Amino acid sequence: MPRPTVDYSLYYVTGRSLLPTTSTAPLDSYLDHLELALQGGVTVVQIREKDVDGREFYEVARRSKLVCDKYNVPLFINDRLDIALLLSCHLHVGQSDLPYQLARHLLGPDRLLGVSVNTPDEMLDILKPEHAGMVDYVGIGPAFGTQTKKNLNPVIGVRGVRDVLQVLGDSEIKAVVIGGITPETIPNVLAQTPAPLLPSADPTAASPTKYRSLDGLAVVSSIAASPTPDVAARELRALFAQRDEYTTRLERGGEWSAEKVVQVAAELVDLLRSEEKKPLMHHITNTVVQNDCANLTLALNASPIMSTVSAEAAALSKLLGCLVLNLGTATVPILEVQTIAGREANRNRKKVVFDPVGVGATAYRRKAASDLLNACHVSIIKGNAGEIGALAGSSEVQARGVDSVGPGFKDPVTVVRTLAAREKLVVGMSGEVDYVSDGHSTFAIENGSEWQGKITGSGCMASSAVAVFAGLDHESGPLVATLAGLLVINIAAEIAAERTTVQGPNTFRSALIDECHNLTPEDVVKRARIKRV
Ligand code: 3NM
Ligand code: MG
């Protein structure tokens, strides 16, 4: 008998000790709760009873199996191979339980076997040719911190989950994510583990990157702690079913020529000028540039708000065009607000621009950036060469402060494209020449003025300009928004620098904001110097 095919979309790990309020409650109330969860759409159940003896575990599992059978939902037993065998159930083992090879040996060929995986090495072990066919799915985690499990392994973050998935590749083994999976963390999980891009209609386009996506979400407390497990399960199922909507839509680059980008950028400038309802740009940025970024945003005809109050982040995210998270004042309270605002923006499917100011300078900032990227999904990263280099893991361009650094990389195209492909987002690197990539196609923008390197905040203002275009309600995605924002600020800088009134950095700064205000679609078409590289 071949092993059954399972829908892993919503994998519910339960057990009486995991229900916070019913650990001493009768079995019946636990079973009622389980039945409601099944009615809500749970597709797989695992019984996990860590603090009970065999007889009690057996009884819980036996009764649970009757409920699951009624809904035709497969049941896994955690760790207790004997109970799985007695009840003809499937088995899940963790890394400190019986080795999965031995478990498979005793379980026989017909039952499903799942394994908890925390690291790429553990994944590689399962993928060894001599282990082929032993394991049916892996539970990857913990993605986030959770109170639910004692002896929790180190949190690996969404990015750690992604690294394990990368190793899994196009293996037939299924994958679910576990640990702190809730409606608020799910958008980032889904955004960072997107389904593979479809091949481009354009035969000249670079071949699409192969991503391995998730087959489902595994939860404990999101259902177990809910007084209405059917409602909770339904919401989780719906979130997973809509996962494509949480993916940053990266355009197939082959469809965008430089000419087309310029044309659309000009159209977007026009749209921005005509916009009656100005898009709201929520900046959580550093104390140095707040005033300049707010003025720049206004000059482009969008509405800035510079709130750092976590209590209003959720309300603001509903009105949002785009959220800007800037690492320049990375105090613990600011990072907390950024995390909350980022998650709310993700939940409301609003774009987030991340400006990793000074990320190469200290280990503290590197960790802050990594934590932030684990907590919420950003669509666009905009930084200078030092910052992009630090995120890409390159030491070729070293950053000290937040100032931009020299001529940059020998091969900037590869650095930017590789980071974009790895992070599944758009990367914009500002400098003498700006490079923008979505991991498939890469553009270079040659506009700009030397004065931009002589004032503070020009990089942060460029990020604001990118955010303004990303926040427009328009079908061209984050690649074009990034290109449009960088074209606009660089062209405005060029025009500003030509003014005879510009005597030095400070008059340039005022002129730049003026020229952003004055800029027309015709200026963009006439002056744009952009090419695909
Ligand atoms: N296994 P919640 S994390 C049972 O990482 C379990 O292998 C984990 O609980 C792992 O959904 C976990 O309440 C608990 O965060 C997950
Ligand atoms: Mg275990």
CA of 352 to the centre of ligand 2 (A): 37
Task: Identify whether residues 312 and 191 lie together within a single domain.
Answer: no
Task: Identify whether residues 169 and 32 lie together within a single domain.
Answer: yes
User: What DSSP state is assigned to residue 329?
Assistant: G
Q: Which tens digits make up the pLDDT trace of 452-481?
A: 999 999 999 999 999 999 999 888 889 999
What average pLDDT does the segment 247-273 reach? 81
What average pLDDT does the segment 202-210 reach? 47
Cα dihedral 364/370/373/378 (nearest 10)? 70
Domain boundary among 214, 246, 278: 246
In a domain? residue 515: no
In a domain? residue 501: no
State which of 5-19, 346-360, 385-399, 515-529 shows the largest mean pLDDT.
515-529
Confidence of residue 437 (pLDDT cuts 50, 70, 90): very high
In a domain? residue 528: no
Least confident of 28-42, 130-144, 208-222, 382-396: 208-222
pLDDT for the residue numbered 23: 52
What ipTM, to 2 d.p.? 0.93
pLDDT for the residue numbered 195: 65
The CB of 41 under 6 Å from ligand 1? The reply is no
What residue numbers bound the domain in which 364 lies?
Answer: 253-486
Domain of 469, CATH number, reads 3.40.1190.20
Q: Which tens digits make up the pLDDT trace of 142-188?
A: 999 888 877 788 899 998 999 999 899 889 999 999 999 999 889 88
Which residues are the active-site residues? 460
pLDDT for the residue numbered 198: 44
- Spell out where 327-415 has E strands: 351-355, 380-384
In this structure, the number of other CB atoms found within 10 A of the CB of residue 154 comes to 10
Q: Which of 12, 76, 148 to mutate to test the pocket of ligand 1 (most atoms within 8 A of CB)?
A: 148
Task: Identify whether residues 227 and 284 lie together within a single domain.
Answer: no
Q: For residue 8, is pLDDT > 90?
A: yes
pLDDT for the residue numbered 188: 87
Ligand that lies nearest to the alpha carbon of residue 139, given by its number in the listed order: 1
Torsions phi, psi for 136 (to 5 deg): -95, -35
Task: Identify whether residues 261 and 218 lie together within a single domain.
Answer: no
Domain boundary among 226, 246, 266: 246
Ligand that lies nearest to the alpha carbon of residue 97, given by its number in the listed order: 2
The CB of 160 under 6 Å from ligand 1? The reply is no
Domain boundary among 211, 227, 246: 246
Domain count, the chain: 2
Task: Identify whether residues 279 and 173 lie together within a single domain.
Answer: no
Helices (H), 351-476: 363-375, 385-392, 412-423, 458-470
**Concatenated DSSP letters for 452-488?**
GGGSTTHHHHHHHHHHHHHTSS-SS-HHHHHHHHHHH
pLDDT for the residue numbered 423: 84
In a domain? residue 443: yes
The CB of 116 under 6 Å from ligand 1? The reply is yes
Q: Which atom of ligand 1 is nearest to the CA of 94?
A: 7
Q: For residue 205, is pLDDT > 50?
A: no
The CB of 219 under 6 Å from ligand 1? The reply is yes
The CB of 485 under 6 Å from ligand 1? The reply is no
The CA R_g of the chain, rounded to the nearest whole Å, is: 26
In a domain? residue 303: yes
Mean per-residue pLDDT over the chain, rounded: 90
Q: For residue 401, is pLDDT > 80?
A: no
Q: For residue 55, is pLDDT > 80?
A: yes
Which pairing describes strands 174-177 and 320-326: parallel, antiparallel, or unpaired? unpaired
Q: Which atom of ligand 1 is nearest to the CA of 18?
A: 13
CA of 232 to the centre of ligand 2 (A): 24
The CB of 114 under 6 Å from ligand 1? The reply is no
Task: Identify whether residues 47 and 148 lie together within a single domain.
Answer: yes
CA of 142 to the centre of ligand 1 (A): 6
The CB of 181 under 6 Å from ligand 1? The reply is yes
In a domain? residue 430: yes
In this structure, the number of other CB atoms found within 10 A of the CB of residue 104 comes to 21
pLDDT above 90: percentage of residues in the chain: 72
Atom 15 of ligand 1: nearest residue by CA position: 180
pLDDT above 70: percentage of residues in the chain: 92
What average pLDDT does the segment 223-240 reach? 95
pLDDT for the residue numbered 103: 98
Domain of 98, CATH number, reads 3.20.20.70
Task: Identify whether residues 220 and 261 lie together within a single domain.
Answer: no
What average pLDDT does the segment 373-389 reach? 92
Task: Identify whether residues 183 and 257 lie together within a single domain.
Answer: no
Task: Identify whether residues 407 and 465 lie together within a single domain.
Answer: yes
In a domain? residue 395: yes
pLDDT for the residue numbered 50: 83
The CB of 220 under 6 Å from ligand 1? The reply is yes
Task: Identify whether residues 436 and 357 lie together within a single domain.
Answer: yes
Ligand that lies nearest to the alpha carbon of residue 144, given by its number in the listed order: 1
CA distances from 308 to 280, 339, 373, 478 (A): 15, 11, 19, 25
pLDDT for the residue numbered 358: 93
Closest CA to 271 of 484, 514, 489, 515: 484
Task: Identify whether residues 312 and 456 lie together within a single domain.
Answer: yes
CA of 96 to the centre of ligand 2 (A): 7
Task: Identify whether residues 262 and 403 lie together within a single domain.
Answer: yes
Which amino acid does the sequence have at 250? L
What average pLDDT does the segment 379-385 reach? 94
CA distances from 374 to 188, 286, 371 (A): 8, 21, 5
CA of 115 to the centre of ligand 2 (A): 9
pLDDT for the residue numbered 27: 85
First to last CA, the chain: 55
Atom 16 of ligand 1: nearest residue by CA position: 179
Least confident of 77-81, 405-409, 458-462: 405-409
Q: For residue 403, is pLDDT > 70?
A: no
- Opening angle at CA 461, ends 455 and 466, nearest 5: 145
Contact 210, 171 (CB under 8 A): no
What average pLDDT does the segment 513-533 reach? 97
CA of 85 to the centre of ligand 2 (A): 17
What average pLDDT does the segment 295-320 reach? 94
pLDDT for the residue numbered 410: 84
Torsions phi, psi for 10 (to 5 deg): -130, 105
Contacts of 135 (CB under 8 A, 6+ apart): 100, 104, 113, 114, 115, 126, 173
